[in-house]
Amino acid sequence: MSLNAERSYKMKLRDVENAFKYRRIPYPKRSVELIALLAISCTFFLFMHTNKLNSRLKEMEVKLQPSEFSALGLTGNHISGHDAGKHDDINTLHGTYQYLKSTGQLDSLRSERLNNTRHSQLDVVFFNRNAKVGSEALMELTQTMAPHNNLTVLTKGPLNINSRTRSPPEQMVQALWINELDSGTIYIEHCNWLNFHRYQLPRPIYINLVRDPVERMISWYYYVRSGYRNAIHHRRFPNTTIKSEKWFKKSYNDCVRSGDPECQYVPGSVKEAEGNYKRQTLFFCGHNRECLPFDSQRAIQLAKINVERDYAVVGTWEETNITLTVLEAYIPRFFKGVRDIFEMNSKSIRNRNRNNRKPRIDPDVREMVRRNFTNEYEFYYFCKQRLYKQYLALQLENNLS
Residue 127 has pLDDT above 90, yes or no: yes
| Annotated domain spans of the chain | 109-400
Give the tens place of pLDDT for each residue, 299-345.
999 999 999 999 999 999 999 999 999 999 999 999 999 999 999 98
* Rg of the chain over all Cα atoms, to the nearest angstrom: 34
Residue 221 has pLDDT above 80, yes or no: yes
- Structure confidence at residue 83 (pLDDT): 38
Q: Kindly name the residue from 87, 94, 148, 190 that is annotated as catalytic.
A: 190
Cβ proximity of 278 and 387 under 8 Å: no
| Superfamily name and number for 109-400 | P-loop containing nucleotide triphosphate hydrolases (3.40.50.300)
Residue 248 vs residue 35, higher pLDDT: 248
Answer yes or no: 190 catalytic: yes
- Three-state DSSP at 211 gives coil
242 DSSP 8-state letter: P
Average pLDDT, the chain: 82
User: Which residues are CB-contacts of 304 (< 8 A; sequence separation ≥ 6)?
Assistant: 379, 382
Would strands 311-315 and 152-154 be described as parallel, antiparallel, or unpaired?
unpaired
**Count of CB atoms situated within 10 Å of the CB of 149:** 17
pTM of the model: 0.76
- The three-point CA angle 220-321-88 to 5° equals 85
Instruction: Give the whole-angstrom CA distance, residue 326 versus residue 329.
Output: 5
Q: Where are the beta strands (DSSP E) in 74-230?
A: 124-127, 152-154, 185-188, 205-209
Instruction: Give the whole-angstrom CA distance, residue 110 versus residue 397.
Output: 8
Instruction: Give the whole-angstrom CA distance, residue 269 versus residue 265.
Output: 8
Residue 184 has pLDDT above 50, yes or no: yes
Cβ proximity of 185 and 318 under 8 Å: no
- Partner residues linked to 209 by β-bridges: 315
Helix H or strand E encompassing 312: strand 311-315
Give the tens place of pLDDT for each residue, 289-300.
999 999 999 999
